[in-house]
């Protein structure tokens, strides 16, 4: 495929027009002088068309799922159905204030309640809360629930440790730290949790074991029942990171596998858009042990009425303002309704089929570190490229020139020069074949071409080291630089 991204020589917004007047805004009655703004906010006064043109041009220098296959491992970059976008923009959904009387938001509460019931069934856990803003936020909240549970049992002083495999997403150890635990990594064996190592590590200090299954190597942890039993035997709890749920929808679920608490990412499995980094929506599911600790309020149904229940004495309280990311919950609800029982199961089958199909093809180009049967994603190692002086990073950049997004690279760290590739169920065989062809062209290209990539985008290879070494983080920084450059060299004063 021949591809060239738009390359607008577009200035930053402040260079489109001079900032408006520096004069202070008209004083507001009652606001004392010392609290008044003395100068207007420094930002340009622009016509609406100028603003639209600016951001439209910027948008044309951005890959999205709608422009390009986006095989980022562990991110589940599936098609975001347009009907969900349309529904979330309905005035009866968008123009609701969280502090309206409950009688005026019965529809919103009904959607939340119904989505929670669906997700409880999908996860096999008894209760669900939609308050978390994202996956990592769900992890943090769940670990606070774990903390509260052990505090109630008088074991908090003792159970200070969270165990996690060396393949865990970075958010897992970071969330554990934020929730006040220490972390301990369990080594992997052939890409899966080393059960013997786990058994040796789990103790009465263990608060919980965090695991994603299928894991970040794309492998299903087949010893999952032994894993969860080993932790439970020592009184620890099991946390399921649902980032990779797509592969097992309707096949198994965290409850069946023995997990006590889980988070899901609606922006992965339930196709709400990633928004260039967010917003997401996190789901917290809890079994009976931890359900009393879920954040308040909980949505409950009494007769035909829905209401918010704050009477949960064991709850950890609030984790964000209002109830949750309703706009995304609504999108996810539409996605779940459209798919239904058979559709959700089909998602798992097809995403795994897609991933194994592409893995088998690309496995001829680069080595696959572990067993061949994978779930939603798979790993390749770019180590053979070293022989021609090329790294995984070069391959990733060269793929961009094909008009496809690069996979996740250099993660998980147990595989050298890793590429982590996920092909969700919404990609057709034709798209997969194009991706395979693009990958093969890239991997076989000359070292010179790989080093020079990308050449078809708005910018060439970016100097990220310079960005970190000499941080310029705003217009204010740019102005300071310009002032330094323009300032005349200091002249010694005349005698």
Partner 1 sequence: MERWIPDEAGEEAALRADLGIASDEELFTDVPKRARMGRIGIGPGREEAEVVAAIDKILDRNRPTYRYATFLGGRISPRYQPAAVDAIVSRSEFYTAYTPYQPEASQGMLRTLFEFQSLWIELSGMDVANASLYDGATAAGEALLLCRRIHEGRRFLVPASLPWEEKSVLANYASGPGLAIEEVPYDARTGGLDLDFVRSAVQQKDVFGLLADVPNGFGHIDEGLVELKGILGGVPLVVSADPLALTVLEPPGNYGADVVVGEGQGFGIAPSYGGPLLGLFGCRKEHVRAAPGRIVGATVDAEGRPAYALTLQTREQHIRRSRATSNICTNESLLALAFVVYASVVGPRGLAELERSLAEKARSLAGVLADVPGLRAPRFDAPYLGEFTIELERGSAREFLDHLERRHILGGHPLADPRPGAKSDGERILVAATDSINDRAIQKYASAAREALGVSGGET
- 421-450 positions binding partner 1, by CB under 8 A: 425-431
Per CB under 8 A, 408 contacts partner 1? yes
Among 125, 210, 224, 332, binds partner 1 (CB under 8 A): 224
Q: How far is CA 17 from CA 14, 47, 384, in A?
A: 6, 10, 51
Per CB under 8 A, 346 contacts partner 1? yes
| DSSP letter, residue 173 | H
Closest approach of Cβ 479 to partner 1, in Å?
A: 10
Closest approach of Cβ 118 to partner 1, in Å?
A: 5
Per CB under 8 A, 300 contacts partner 1? no
* Residue keyed to tokens 């607008």: 8
Which candidate, 384, 379, 397, 380, places its Cα nearest to that of 451? 397
Per CB under 8 A, 493 contacts partner 1? no
Report how far Cα 418 is from the mean position of its chain's Cα atoms.
19
| Residue ranges in 314-343 that form contacts with partner 1 under rule CB under 8 A | 316-328, 330, 333-334, 336-343
Cα separation, 71 vs 85, in Å, equals 22
Closest approach of Cβ 386 to partner 1, in Å?
A: 21
Retrieve residue 198's tokens. Answer: 């786990």
Among 1, 18, 97, 490, binds partner 1 (CB under 8 A): 97
Which candidate, 274, 244, 276, places its Cα nearest to that of 257? 244
Number of residues that bind partner 1 (CB under 8 A): 208
Closest approach of Cβ 2 to partner 1, in Å?
A: 17
Closest approach of Cβ 199 to partner 1, in Å?
A: 18
**What's the chain's length in residues?**
495
Q: Is 17 helix (H, G, I), strand (E, B) or coil?
A: coil
| DSSP letter, residue 102 | G
| Residue ranges in 348-407 that form contacts with partner 1 under rule CB under 8 A | 349-350, 352-354, 356-357, 360, 373, 375, 396-397, 400, 405-406
Contact code string over 12-51 relative to partner 1, x by CB under 8 A: xxx----xxx---xx-xxxxx-xxxxx-xxxxxxx-x--x
Residue pair 263/135 in contact (Cβ under 8 Å)? The answer is yes
| Residue ranges in 163-222 that form contacts with partner 1 under rule CB under 8 A | 169-171, 173-183, 219-220, 222
Closest approach of Cβ 495 to partner 1, in Å?
A: 38
How many Cα neighbours within 13 Å face the side chain of 372?
7
Which candidate, 228, 238, 152, places its Cα nearest to that of 195? 228
């Amino acid at each position: 495929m021949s591809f060239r991204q738009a390359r607008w020589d577009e200035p930053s917004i402040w260079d489109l027009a001079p900032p408006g007047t520096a004069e202070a805004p008209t004083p507001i009655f009652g606001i004392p002088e010392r609290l008044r703004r003395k100068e207007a906010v420094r930002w340009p006064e622009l016509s609406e068309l100028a603003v639209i043109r600016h951001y439209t041009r910027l948008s044309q220098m951005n890959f999205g799922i709608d422009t390009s296959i986006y095989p980022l491992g562990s991110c589940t970059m599936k098609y975001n159905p347009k009907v969900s976008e349309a529904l979330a923009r309905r005035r009866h959904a968008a123009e609701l204030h969280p502090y309206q009387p409950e009688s005026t938001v019965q529809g919103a509460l009904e959607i939340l309640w119904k989505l929670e019931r669906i997700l409880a069934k999908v996860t096999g856990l008894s209760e669900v809360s939609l308050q978390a803003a994202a996956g990592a936020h769900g992890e943090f909240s769940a670990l606070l629930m774990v903390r509260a549970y052990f505090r109630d049992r008088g074991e908090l002083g003792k159970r200070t440790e969270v165990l996690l495999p060396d393949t865990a997403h970075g958010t897992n150890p970071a969330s554990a730290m934020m929730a006040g635990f220490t972390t301990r990594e369990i080594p992997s064996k052939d890409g899966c949790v080393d059960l013997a190592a786990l058994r040796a590590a789990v103790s009465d200090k263990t608060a919980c074991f965090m695991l994603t299954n299928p894991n970040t190597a794309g492998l299903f942890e087949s010893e999952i029942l032994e894993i969860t039993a080993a932790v439970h035997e020592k009184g620890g709890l099991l946390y399921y990171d649902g980032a990779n749920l797509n592969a097992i929808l309707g096949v198994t679920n965290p409850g069946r596998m023995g997990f006590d608490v889980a988070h899901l990412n609606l922006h992965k499995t339930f196709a709400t858009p990633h928004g260039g980094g967010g917003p997401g929506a996190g789901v917290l599911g809890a079994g009976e042990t931890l359900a009393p600790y879920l954040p308040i309020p909980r949505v409950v149904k009494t007769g035909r009425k829905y209401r918010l229940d704050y009477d949960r004495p064991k709850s950890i309280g609030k984790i964000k303002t209002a109830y949750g990311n309703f706009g995304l919950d609504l999108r996810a609800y539409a996605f779940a309704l459209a798919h239904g029982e058979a559709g959700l199961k089909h998602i798992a089958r097809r995403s795994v089929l897609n991933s194994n199909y592409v893995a088998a093809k690309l496995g001829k180009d680069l080595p696959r570190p572990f067993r061949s049967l994978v779930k939603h994603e798979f790993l390749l190692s770019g180590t053979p490229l070293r022989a021609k002086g090329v790294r995984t990073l070069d391959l990733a950049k060269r793929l961009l020139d094909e008009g496809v997004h690069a996979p996740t690279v250099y993660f998980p760290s147990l595989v050298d020069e890793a590429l982590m590739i996920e092909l969700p169920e919404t990609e057709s065989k034709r798209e997969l074949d194009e991706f395979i062809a693009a990958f093969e062209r890239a991997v076989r290209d000359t070292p010179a071409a790989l080093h020079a990539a990308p050449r078809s985008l708005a910018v060439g290879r970016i100097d990220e080291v310079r960005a970190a070494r000499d941080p310029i983080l705003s217009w204010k920084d740019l102005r300071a630089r310009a002032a330094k450059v323009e300032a005349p060299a200091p002249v010694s004063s005349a005698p």
